[in-house]
Structure 1
């Protein structure tokens, strides 16, 4: 009896041990007998993948295929300033077993992924060689990637400076511009002081006129505002900032380089506006030393290099406009406006990546109309329209007196007014042919005195005995 009881006890013990093994395997490994039979409830998701009403075995098979596709279509970007880098799929691995182990039935669950620290370190070093990442920072970035991919939704963008604050301590001078001036006027000094230390916040728009509104520097002249705005524009072209509004004057502001003017005109509402598309802030610094005004932009360095340049500068000679006046002495010329050459400046920008030209951008074409030269000359004397002198020097009145039978003589006798008009053209009193004959045979100087002079309005001018015009 006892041996039989002993055998039964051993069988029960073996059965309990087997059941315990199944439960332990089911609990810790998720591959137990009961786990494979048990199904997930309705509305059970792992990221975007639906495993509702699937057994654990079927769910594992499905997720293995889904994770494989997800790794092939991985789209995780690491951003620093103007550069974004795709994380290679080899760096990220999705864990099916760990994901199923923590999956709760009837709920939305996250994916479990792991990021290779060595692989990530290589990616950072190759693409952001101007920045230094410590081991702790590499681990922080890897952890953030693992968190971002838990949703299983692509693409994902990770801005590194948000999670690696030490990168902000690596700021440096990114752009600069200068303006030569012997003495610093009060207006420029006030603008310089107000701009110094100004921060350009991430993803914001900057208006030159708004930033100075209500400040003492607002009393500066438009020309002084234009000088500082042009300096800021020159420096901005050395960054990836977006220029939203920029204007030029009708005449290039003194000492401003052609192609880099940013005119400010408060009456016309001309402003200088740009946007910062980056996730980091920048600081504007200004100073005046050794007769030179300097403006610099400080911030986290860009991956690319931006180099604006004047590709072509064309000048146009001014035309000359001549005005006539009786008040200008004969032979002399008065210069009213000296005129100014016209300019056309074509500006382009090189975008360099690791020292190699990546893009050659069109920036602007600025044109300044030439200003004409204006001169005033002595009024030109017009010929007397009533002077009927023939080419041989004989006047028509003289020929008429020599031939009384001519039609001219007949007309004179019938119409005394005609005789007066003809003689008045030669300066001879009417009814005196002898004087008329002497006048026609006189010197050339006598003829010059008899000419009628007209002003610009077409009116006959009068002169005194000294030959000066009478108003």
Structure 2
């Protein structure tokens, strides 16, 4: 009984304090006729009303609301329709907002929507979209931004507010194909990997997907599949989070469209799906063509890719000399191959109109290697008239590393007559075949 009395006393005291705190000032304002003044650090939608009376705060907030509404339309986009909704759709209640203000805090604006717009908006959509559009979820998302008077555009894709499995709404949003030499390994891989799911707002790893399959895989077949998927993904809004290329462009790929996968080096191909719905990647082999289709809800904007600023990088000529070559002869140990560089871009047509650089692809040239007549320690002038100076290493007798394979510019180096080291062809001095780099042949070293 004593506990009950104590508890009742505690409740009574708490009620008195609350009444004194909140009702007391209001009673004083009624008696004195003075307006309430908001305490410092009090704000609504980030707009400070500290030190203002209620009428001043109401005027200030109403002005900000009017400015925000004048600059805002709502855009609901599908692949075929863009429905603009006037800012009259919002019904702000500044008076109710001020009634709910808690001193010393930031308060959201009280706002609701004019529901009479719903039938007008949905009448512009095809039946499957009209039936499945989640109007309440969308209005909740819009009201969240309006209550804070957020400055970002109120642009929404209708497909972000429908369930992810409405079959009549699914379309092929991108496709790509390459010509391949069919092998049993590739056929088995494609048969097992005929459909891949890119989950909403999640990453997709090709290596992880392949590891779950009950078939043998190798780097070449994975790279062929990755190349085809990459070609299709460039025409979507999927983020390319990890992608590699080979040292040499494979026969099945075109410049700017290759993707190399090497599980042994952890070189993966990884995509990220930023959309609120899943997408399905379908693979199929039709004769000598590997085809990829990406199916899902249509994108509001149209995406397309381009390969630009294509450059040919000419090979250098590496000359080695030997006394076992006739003075008038030139033996070609390795034919040169031209390298390539290009930039890959993705663009979109729509309200945002993005253009982004996806990659800069570089395939190094393969140097031409020639063997000509010459003897160590002597000035060498061949009968063709295209002579050259002995490299700096030759003049000192340090010949240990000069017979490296010139076919791999990215891993090997050659020293030219000026003592400069060859690396990236952009940084190296180009050598004309008529003024070559001279190297000593291995056969002469053994003399």
TM-score grouping bracket, smaller chain normalisation = 0.5 to 0.7
The DSSP-based 3-state class of the residue aligned with 1:294 is: strand
Task: State the 1:348 CA deviation.
Answer: 2.1
Task: State the 1:343 CA deviation.
Answer: 1.2
Change (3 A) 1:343 1:73: same
1:134 corresponds to which of 123, 130, 134: 130
Task: State the 1:87 CA deviation.
Answer: 5.5
Are the aligned partners of 1:198 and 1:283 in contact in 2 as well (CA < 8 Å)? Answer: yes
Task: State the 1:195 CA deviation.
Answer: 3.1
Q: Does residue 181 of structure 1 match 2:168?
A: no
The aligned counterpart of 1:363 is 358
Residues 41-60 of structure 1 show CA distances to partners (whole Å, capped at 9, x for unaligned) of: xxxxxx989xxxxxxxx999
Task: State the 1:152 CA deviation.
Answer: 6.6
Task: State the 1:188 CA deviation.
Answer: 1.7
Are the aligned partners of 2:340 and 2:365 in contact in 1 as well (CA < 8 Å)? Answer: yes
2:200 corresponds to which of 189, 194, 202: 202
Aligned residues: 339
Q: How does 1:190-339 map to 2 (within 5 A)?
A: 190-217=188-215, 219-323=216-320, 336-339=333-336
Task: State the 1:133 CA deviation.
Answer: 4.8
Are the aligned partners of 1:351 and 1:358 in contact in 2 as well (CA < 8 Å)? Answer: yes
Are the aligned partners of 1:81 and 1:280 in contact in 2 as well (CA < 8 Å)? Answer: no
Q: How does 1:112-127 map to 2 (within 5 A)?
A: 113-115=112-114, 117-118=116-117, 121=120
2:443 corresponds to which of 442, 445, 456: 456
Are the aligned partners of 1:190 and 1:216 in contact in 2 as well (CA < 8 Å)? Answer: no
CA distance in 2, matches of 1:109, 1:77: 20
Q: How does 1:156-175 map to 2 (within 5 A)?
A: 160-161=158-159, 163-165=161-163, 168-169=166-167, 170-175=169-174
Residues 78-119 of structure 1 show CA distances to partners (whole Å, capped at 9, x for unaligned) of: 776999998642222246899999x9xxxx999462325448
The aligned counterpart of 2:90 is 92
CA distance in 1, matches of 2:227, 2:240: 12
Are the aligned partners of 1:179 and 1:293 in contact in 2 as well (CA < 8 Å)? Answer: yes
Structure with the largest fraction of helix: 1
Are the aligned partners of 2:200 and 2:274 in contact in 1 as well (CA < 8 Å)? Answer: yes
CA distance in 2, matches of 1:253, 1:100: 68
Change (3 A) 1:334 1:95: same
The aligned counterpart of 1:14 is none
CA distance in 2, matches of 1:100, 1:187: 70
Which consecutive residues of structure 2, in runs of 5 or more, have no partner in the other structure?
1-29, 31-43, 48-52, 101-106, 380-440
The higher radius of gyration belongs to: 1
CA distance in 2, matches of 1:296, 1:384: 65
Are the aligned partners of 1:248 and 1:261 in contact in 2 as well (CA < 8 Å)? Answer: yes
Change (3 A) 1:302 1:269: same
CA distance in 2, matches of 1:263, 1:308: 19
Residues 294-330 of structure 1 show CA distances to partners (whole Å, capped at 9, x for unaligned) of: 0011111112111111113222333344556677799
Q: Does residue 372 of structure 1 match 2:367?
A: yes
Q: How does 1:69-88 map to 2 (within 5 A)?
A: 69-70=64-65, 72-73=67-68, 88=86
TM-score by length of 1: 0.55
